[in-house]
Structure 1
Amino acid sequence: MHEVVGLFGRAGCRWWIAGGHAIELAVGRGLRPHDDIDVLLLRDDQFAVQEVLAGWEWWAADPPATLRPWRPGERLRPGVHDIWCRPAPGAAWRIQVMLDEAEHGEWVSRRDDGVRRPVAGIGAVSPDGIPYLRPEIQLYYKAKHPRPKDERDFDAALPHLDPAQRSWLTHAVTRTLGPHPWTARLR
């Protein structure tokens, strides 16, 4: 993770560690092995990826499930939310960058544009200075199709969520997904 922090620390824009690593930063301990490191950027800052990962391969995930090279200077259209990055051809994917939307200083969920937060409030900073996506927002994304690792992340994060975080997550999940097994546990 320190390599990613060093690389994105030069980005000149806001960024946050996301995914399971964000949950681990929120709870203050490792929970499970990871295949890569997820980083969240706002869509307007997408070219920071090409700057800080110069010399790497960048692949855009076009919906529904097409991975293709992302050309230098190409602006990814709304709907393309994932960029897979690796240091060389044939190397393992090391960083997955997720692009989220923002309007007028508000983060806007890519799953439901009625789910919003001030951009200034979507992240937290670990004791060692690593910016990460707040756990309630990360869990919101994990709730759509929770895998066993997402369930473990939810179980680990739940005791660390304060009443406001629980309320926000309950509202966001219910609004976007309807009834969900996690919401009863959040109350």
Structure 2
Amino acid sequence: MLNGLLDDLIERGDSVAPVAHPSPSENPATTGFVAPSPVSPRLDSGKLPPALVKAALRVCDAHGDSEEQRQQMLADLASYPADRHGWLTDYLNEIGDRLEGPKPDVMDDRRTCSVCLNYRANRCLAAWRGELPATSRQYHPRPNQPRRCEGYQPNAEDPDRRHGRERWPGLMGDTLTNVRTTL
């Protein structure tokens, strides 16, 4: 499993090269190579740094790997020299971050259009229906930009079931109409 991740890294052109391991066919007396002992199904990961084990299992969780695949990942990591463990930890944390996606800020109540039920085919249906004042019916918002919107309609995964008009009552009203009446 780790070899596939490293192959992916090399294909991207990153400057870190994989560790070259001597071939078992080479003479151990002349190369200093000692064949690794066979890995048991239950690898003792106590020899690996806890941060590396945590990063590796996080990637496995994001992929939905089985217990056998998780053990294979730990076995692959155990085959690398200890001086590469820091680099592998950083690499696997980067992969884990990419697989898990951005974490929402607890204090930030904004939502992205991509999680709104009114966002379909790169178009805001609330704007198309004329529900958003001072907004073109052809409005095409950036789907991953957090915002507060009157037309927000929560999807099934949003624990806060309020619509945009209830969630952000200060947004309500036609801004242009309000400006005209105050002049």
TM score, norm. by length of structure 2: 0.20
Greater helix share, structure number: 2
Higher strand proportion:
1
- Quick one: higher RCO (CA 8 Å, sep 6+), 1 or 2? 1
